[in-house]
Amino acid sequence: MTTLLALIFSAATTIVIAVLGHQFHLAHFHLIGGIPVGSMAIGAGAAAGTAIAIRLMNGYDTDDFRMLGYVAGFTAYALVIFADYTALQFRVGDRVLAATDFMNVARYFLFLVEEGAKSAASVLPKWVRFPQQIMFWIGMVRLSVEVVGVLVATGWALSLLTGVPFCWRNRRFYELKQLVSSANISAVHEWELAVHQRRPIEARAILSRVRAGRPQFQDRVWMRIVIHQCPGCLAGRVRIEKCRRGHGFMRAEYQEEFLLDEARGSALLAT
């Protein structure tokens, strides 16, 4: 159900953001000649659909949902580029032709590179001049920055909207380290006690028992351990939830949440 909702919401937000991006010409809107504000807004907006589905179904930012968000962000950006392309006109001699009359993709690509190079060079002093070859590579770099900006903004938006902690020390979001569902409720409590009592070796051994107790279809109640960890300083956040199976959905009840500093995070969460 979560995957289906994520697909529906991602498709809807992708179409909406693509229409808005084309109307307001966001694909190539930059600040100071190189900061891809427009493309980042497209990626962040497209990721909102995936984040909404995750929130509604009590899910988390797993690799599958992150990949779906990246695909939605890049697809929205590509749709904006395609819409701009089909609305573009080329002048050939005395004739003005729509781009769709001959679908000259290579020429449109060179047009984007040239326009990007001119925009980047416009912030430089007037006495600075570059050869045509260098201007081409400046435009290529600017176009690459747009694509990278879409993907980066998509990941940031997905982390922000799903409540992923942010490490101010390393200036990056935490990563999902563990997402373990287990019907062995006693093992989950033993693991939690071992973590609080700073017994890392025993905690890792108990965690293997927790993983082995996967909930079956007949199980109506189980526990879920969600561990986010900063890849830089290895600080972590642990969230423990009680899950109940309903009619077509899963309900998660908040049990406990605690933070781990760098030393405890590296010792307890190391794999």
Name the residue ranges covered by the structural domains of the chain.
2-163, 172-268
Per-residue pLDDT of the chain (271 residues; tens, 9 = 90+): 667 888 899 999 999 999 998 888 888 787 765 778 889 999 999 999 999 989 888 889 999 999 999 999 999 999 998 888 777 766 656 666 666 655 567 777 888 888 888 877 777 777 778 888 888 888 898 889 889 999 999 999 999 999 999 999 899 999 999 899 999 999 999 999 988 888 888 888 898 899 999 888 888 899 999 999 998 888 999 999 999 887 767 788 888 898 888 877 777 665 4
**pLDDT at residue 182 in the model:** 93
| Global pTM value | 0.85
CA distance linking residue 105 with residue 85, whole number of Å: 9
Supply the DSSP string of 75-134, one letter for each residue.
HHHHHHHHHHHHT-EEEETTEEEEGGGT--HHHHHHHHHHHHHHHHHTTS-TT----HHH
| AA identity, residue 244 | R
**pLDDT at residue 269 in the model:** 62
Helix (H, G, I), strand (E, B) or coil at 223: strand
